[in-house]
Amino acid sequence: MALFDAGWSSLVAREAHNLEVAGSNPAPATNIDVHVHAIVTPMPAPIPDFSISPATMRRPASLREALKGPFWSTFEEIVIREIFQRGGLIIDIGGGLRLDPDHGDRVNAHRQKLFGRFLSDPNVRYRVTDYTDQYHPDFVEDIHQLSFADSSVDGLFCMAVLEHVYDPKRAAEEICRVLKSGAVSLLYVPFVYRYHATVTADYRDYYRYSKDAIAYLFRRCSEIDICPVRGLFESLARFTPLHRIGAFRWLLRCLDWGTKRMRDVSQLQTSGYFIRIKK
C-alpha cells in the first residue's frame, strides 16, 4: 500500500508540473510516462495588402461637355502628347499605339497624323515590344518579365493588352518597375466589352477591369487618372449593330451623361478606361 501511495503521489505531482511531493519519494516501481506538451498559440496570418491608392476620375462635368465629342479621345491625346514631349526611351508594349507601319500589323491613321512626327524626333527613342516576332517589333518581350533594367524607361504605352495576360498583377508590377521615377504611362483596359480572343488562339481573353482593379494594380504609383470610354447605354449598344448609327450614339450619350446621377452610373459601367499613371 505504501508503494502504491508513493507512486500515485509522484504521478500526480508530475502531472501538475510540481517536482516535489511532500512526504514521499517517487516509487521505483512506477513506470508510467507522462508527456507534457506546451500549448502554443498560433500567430495570426499577416493581412494581405488590399490598400487602394486614390484615383482621379476624369469624366465630363456636364452634358454640354460630353456632346463636344468623345471626351475620352481628348484625354488619350493629351497623355500621348505628354509622354512624347518628355522624350527619352518610350516603350509601346504590344504596339497598340499603331504609329509605325514597320512595327505592327496596321496603322491608326488619326494617331499617325497627330503624333507620327515624334518617330523622327532625335529626343525620342520609340520602341515597340510584342510577345511574338510576327509583326516585327523592336523587341520580343514577355510583359510578365521585361528585360529592361529597373527605372530605365521614360514613358510607356500599354493599350488593350492587360486583358490578354494571365497574370495582370505581375504585369503591372513589371510596368512600374521599369518606369523611371516621375515617368508617365498610358494604358487602356476594357470593362463592359465583348470577348475578343483571336480565332487562332495565339492569345486569349482573360480579364475585365473595374476602377477598383485599376487602382489596386497601380497602387504604388504616385498618380492614377482614369477616364471612362463611353457610358452605360452607349457601351451596351456596342453589342448590337445599332452602335454604327451616329444619331443613335448621340441619343445614348445624352442619356448616359445628361444628369449627375447618370454620370455617376456611367463612369462605373463603361466600355473601358484610359489610364494615366505616374510613378
- pLDDT tens by residue, 87-110: 999 999 999 999 988 888 889 999
Judge whether 47 lies within some domain.
no
pLDDT tens sequence across 25-52:
444 444 555 555 556 677 777 776 666 7
Please answer whether residues 22 and 5 qualify as being in contact, where contact means their C-beta atoms are separated by less than 8 angstroms: no
Residue 23 pLDDT class (50, 70, 90 cuts): very low
Cα distances from 249 to residues 13, 72, 77, 117, 230, in angstroms, run 87, 15, 22, 33, 10
Residue 89 makes CB contacts below 8 A (sequence gap 6+) with 125, 127, 152, 153, 154, 155
Residues 56-85: what's their mean pLDDT?
95
Handedness of CA 93, 99, 105, 107 (dihedral sign): positive
Tell me which of 81 and 133 has the higher pLDDT: 81
Question: Which residues touch 183 (CB under 8 Å, ≥6 apart)?
Answer: 86, 153, 154, 155, 156, 278, 279
Largest CA distance in the chain: 108
Q: In sequence order, what DSSP letters do the residues of 141-181 get, joined into one string? A: --TTS--SPTT-EEEEEEES-GGG-S-HHHHHHHHHHHEEE
d(CA 210, CA 247) in angstroms, rounded, equals 28
Domain housing 123? 69-230+272-278
* pLDDT for 38: 58
pLDDT digit string, tens, across residues 238-250: 999 999 999 999 9
* Same-domain status, 75 and 179: yes
Query: What per-residue confidence (pLDDT) applies to 40?
Result: 65
Measured distance CA(135)–CA(137) in Å, rounded: 6
Number of structural domains found in the chain: 2
Burial class of residue 43, CB neighbours in 10 A (0-12, 13-18, 19+): exposed
Residue (of 89, 77, 161, 87) closest to 115 by Cα position:
77
Using pLDDT thresholds of 50, 70 and 90, give the confidence band for residue 112: very high
Is residue 122 a part of any domain in this protein? yes
Q: What is the CATH number of the domain that holds 180?
A: 3.40.50.150
Q: How many residues does the chain have?
A: 279
What pLDDT does residue 13 have?
Answer: 40
| Segment 202-240, tens digit of pLDDT | 789 999 999 999 999 999 999 999 999 999 999 999 999
Does residue 16 sit in the same domain as residue 108?
no
Please state, in angstroms and rounded to a whole number, the distance separating the CA atoms of residues 249 and 228.
16
For a pLDDT cut of 90, what percent of the chain falls above it? 73
Question: Domain check: are 141 and 15 in the same one?
Answer: no
Query: Are 217 and 89 part of one and the same domain?
Result: yes
- Same-domain check for residues 20 and 133: no
172 or 38, higher pLDDT: 172
55: in domain:
no
